Amino acid sequence: MNSLLRLLGDGRFHSGEELGRALGVSRSAVWKYLQGLEDECGIELFKVPGKGYRLAEPLSLLNYEDNAAVLAPLGWQLYLRESTDSTNAEALRLLQSGVAAPFVVLAEGQTHGRGRRGRVWTSPPAQNIYYTLVLKVSNGLQGLSGLSLVVGLAVLRALHRAGIESAGLKWPNDVYAGGRKIAGILLELNGDPADVCHVIIGIGVNVNMAPSTQGIGQAWTSVREQTGMLASRDDLVRFVSEALSHYLERHAREGFSSLRDEWEAHNIWRGRRCTLSTGTQQVKGLMKGLDEQGALRLWIEGQGERCFSGGELSLRLDDDS
């Protein structure tokens, strides 16, 4: 499928004969592949008699060699998949099969992308970044404290580098631009967090996703919408990887407290009224910021300031804020 997409990726018309010759298959086989792109992948095609086939929108496909060359100096091995259920799930399978961390899993598309709290992460092929980094953590809970916030800071810096200066951070795991979500983070642990374990860091970035994409239950935006240009997904992978390496190394040396002020400088909801969902209750209050460990500081009327942390917490903005 990727070979066909690469041939069509220039946005020009290609005849079935030309595509079959390049792929070494018959014209009928080309037609079946094209049907698969439309039916299974949701990729829109223009079909014009006498001219052939053309993608409705040009695509930015991932290049294995280029991305492997970016990751090699960081000491990270690359596994690139045409499609997988989710990059986090594939990373866990690789880890359980004996692949040594650190390594990165990238995918052109996901069939069952996942967000926090069991939410679906819409993952059309060849449009966004589906990225998972697996690290070994040997200093226990200290090495995990504030880690998701640091990853968010790295993704933010990558988006700034891509030209989206308006991007900001929403506690605990989201990056927003123009008031809408542009990236999300899902951390999962494998092993004993009090001893030696692996952390699976999943990152999703909306890059070139079409405005007509269905199935997203919240306001969202993309790199392409924010910049007005088709973005290189390879460039975004490089920006994210280099920023991750920098911030993870600093977190390992100095802890989250050294990065707290930088995170707070991009905290888009500080000083606004929010509702915190804890799974068993909802708490309303004024967001005051973060403490030294990255916990949410919430001022609650009648109670004063309280701190909240944990993997199943979710924060939303009140309508009257």
Is 181 marked active-site? yes
Is 110 annotated as ligand-binding? yes
Active-site residue, from 116, 157, 224, 260: 116
Is 132 annotated as ligand-binding? no
Enter the DSSP assignment of 100. Answer: P
Is 116 marked active-site? yes
Q: Report the half-sphere exposure of 306 (CA within 13 A, side-chain side).
A: 10
Is 47 annotated as ligand-binding? no
Active-site residue, from 170, 181, 224, 233: 181
Is 87 annotated as ligand-binding? yes
What's CA 29's distance to the chain center, in Å?
34
Is 122 annotated as ligand-binding? no
Are 308 and 279 in contact by the 8 Å Cβ rule? The answer is no
Is 136 marked active-site? no
Q: Which phi-psi region, left, alpha or beta, contains residue 302 (left: φ > 0; alpha: ψ -120 to 50)?
A: left
Instruction: Report which residue type is found at 298.
Output: L
Instruction: Report which residue type is found at 201.
Output: I
Residue 218: CB atoms within 10 Å? 10
User: Which sign does the torsion angle of CA 240, 246, 249, 251 carry?
Assistant: negative
The beta strands (E) that lie in the chain are given as: 45-48, 52-55, 77-84, 103-110, 129-137, 168-170, 174-177, 180-191, 197-205, 273-277, 282-290, 296-300, 304-308, 314-317
Is 173 annotated as ligand-binding? no
Residues making up the binding site for biotin: 86-88, 110, 114-116, 181
Residues making up the binding site: 86-88, 110, 114-116, 181
Instruction: Return the active site residues.
Output: 116, 181, 316
